[in-house]
């Protein structure tokens, strides 16, 4: 803990990064092998090798297809989504100085789904890019509404959560109104299924949008790691330390809106990951953002892959919405974290 801000030497850093990457690859391999058609891990690795590097290893065509076109894209999307939501949560918690801040609670996800539903139902182009664009506008609108409400209510950090709850309700109501009044029955069913969050429909073109957004967003956040540390004692303290508070806030809030919106557009709204993972990561690597943000990316990614696996195997012949699984397993984990990290009186 004492050297949480400095970090160890480069050898240790590379070691930790290699370990994290290995854990991530193992989680992906597990996700690929588990399913209605169980595929042994060695076959899964061979199929990955074939798909990625064209090695020509012996794998049946059906297995190759299931693994590469369905399960791998799904696992990679889960990793990106978990990582992006966890990083967004960590950023919002630091900027707003509230441990409960995260995209779902602040209504950013609700705003993004309203935007995406507008595009879907009213039909301004329905490609992933169109959906993501609509979701981004919705997310920015939600952040603006929440920021206005919170500032109007006195600007204290606890007001932000109240404003977020109000914003969430407003945008969820807007989504419901659009769906019930304007959508066809078939569209409505599709929207409702998508809103609960699921990775079922993810294909490689979705990843062509999600991957660059997640990586660029993550780098933007990482560049601001020191500025985020400086927010520990509030915005005035950060500004007195030479941080351009207004610019950093704008850039990072826009980045979290973009990350959240992209994920919502592709997989729907998933709660809890943005809240729990940053706390778990802080518990493991300390509060310094130069380490916390990479930790959130990796732990969030692994958590979401595992949650997706569980959503597929928990109830036989049925896939649970991913949001239910993240909450089922996230809530007790959160309770343990809270209990163990409690302050001595």
Partner 1 sequence: MTLATHDARWSAGGRMIVDGITLSAAPNRILGLIGPNGSGKSSLLRLLCRLRGVASGVVTLDGRDIATLPRRELARRLAFVEQQATTDIQLTVCDVVRLGRTPHRAAFTSWTEADEHAVSAALERVGLAERHDQPWHTLSGGERQRVHIARALAQDPRELILDEPTNHLDIQHQLSILRLIRRLGLTCIVALHDLNLASLFCDQIGVLHAGKLVASGPPENVLTPGMIRQVFGVEVHIRNGAGGRRHIEYVVDVEPDERP
Alpha helices in 128-224 (DSSP H): 128-152, 157-182, 185-195, 204-223
Which residues ranging from 5 to 64 are in contact with partner 1 (CB under 8 A)?
5-7
If one asks whether residue 215 binds partner 1 (CB under 8 A), the answer comes out as: no
Of the candidates 6, 4, 48, which has an alpha carbon nearest to the alpha carbon of residue 25?
48
Backbone angles phi, psi at 287, to 5 degrees: -85, -10
Instruction: Classify burial at 341, counting beta carbons within 10 Å of its beta carbon; exposed 0-12, middle 13-18, buried 19 or more.
Output: exposed
Binding region for partner 1 (CB under 8 A) out of 147-155, 220-228, 250-258, 307-315: 220-228
d(CA 259, CA 250): 14
Query: Total residues contacting partner 1 (rule CB under 8 A)?
Result: 32
3-class DSSP state for residue 3? coil
**What are the helix and strand counts (H, E) for the chain?**
15, 0
Task: Name the minimum Å distance from CB 244 to partner 1.
Answer: 6
Tokens 């007195």 belong to residue: 240
Report if residue 233 touches partner 1, rule: CB under 8 A.
Answer: yes
Among 4, 165, 209, 328, binds partner 1 (CB under 8 A): 4
Q: Looking at 35-43, 130-138, 203-211, 217-225, which segment touches partner 1 (CB under 8 A)?
A: 217-225
Q: For the CB of residue 143, give the shortest distance to partner 1 in the complex, in Å.
A: 22
- The CA distance from 318 to 311, in Å, is 8
- Give the Cα separation of 224 and 202 in Å (integer): 31
Stretch touching partner 1 by CB under 8 A, among 113-121, 174-182, 222-230, 307-315: 222-230
Residue with smaller CB distance to partner 1, 135 or 225: 225
Q: Is 223 in the site for partner 1 (CB under 8 A)?
A: yes
Residues 251-310 that bind partner 1 (CB under 8 A): 282, 287-288
Among 35-43, 130-138, 203-211, 239-247, the segment contacting partner 1 (CB under 8 A): 239-247
Could you give the CA distance from residue 133 to residue 115 in angstroms, rounded to a whole number? 8
Q: How far is the CB of 295 from partner 1 (least distance, A)?
A: 15
Whole-number CA gyration radius for the chain: 20
Given 17, 25, 237, 284, the residue binding partner 1 (CB under 8 A) = 237
Residues contributing to the site for partner 1 (CB under 8 A): 1-2, 4-7, 97, 99, 223-227, 229-230, 232-234, 236-237, 239-244, 282, 287-288, 341, 343-344
């Amino acid at each position: 803990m004492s050297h949480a801000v400095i970090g160890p030497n480069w050898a240790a850093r590379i070691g930790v990064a290699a370990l994290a990457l290995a854990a991530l690859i193992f989680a992906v391999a597990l996700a690929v092998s588990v399913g209605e058609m169980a595929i042994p891990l060695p076959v899964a690795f061979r199929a990955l090798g074939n798909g990625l590097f064209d090695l020509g290893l012996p794998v049946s065509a059906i297995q190759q297809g299931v693994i590469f076109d369905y399960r791998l894209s799904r696992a990679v999307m889960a990793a990106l989504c978990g990582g992006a939501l966890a990083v967004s949560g960590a950023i919002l918690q630091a900027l707003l100085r509230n441990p409960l801040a995260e995209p779902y609670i602040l209504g950013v996800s609700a705003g993004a789904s309203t935007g995406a539903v507008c595009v879907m139902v009213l039909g301004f182009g329905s490609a992933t890019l169109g959906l993501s664009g609509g979701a981004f506008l919705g997310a920015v609108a939600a952040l603006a509404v929440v920021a206005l409400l919170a500032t109007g209510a006195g600007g204290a950090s606890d007001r932000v959560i109240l404003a977020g709850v109000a914003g969430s309700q407003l945008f969820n109501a807007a989504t419901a109104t659009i769906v019930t009044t304007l959508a066809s029955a078939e569209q409505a069913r599709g929207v409702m299924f998508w809103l609960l969050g699921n990775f079922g429909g993810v294909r490689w073109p979705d990843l062509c949008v999600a991957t660059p957004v997640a990586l660029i967003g993550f780098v933007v956040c990482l560049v601001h790691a020191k500025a985020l540390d400086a927010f520990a004692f509030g915005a005035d303290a950060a500004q007195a330390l030479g941080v351009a508070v207004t610019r950093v806030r704008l850039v990072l809030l826009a980045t979290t809106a973009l990350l959240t919106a992209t994920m919502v557009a592709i997989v729907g709204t998933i709660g809890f990951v943005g809240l729990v993972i940053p706390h778990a990561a802080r518990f493991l690597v300390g509060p310094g953002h130069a380490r916390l943000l990479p930790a959130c990316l990796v732990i969030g990614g692994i958590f979401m892959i595992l949650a997706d696996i569980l959503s597929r195997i928990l109830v036989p012949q049925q896939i649970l919405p991913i949001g239910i699984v993240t909450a089922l397993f996230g809530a007790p984990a959160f309770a343990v974290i809270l209990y163990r990290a409690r302050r001595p009186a």
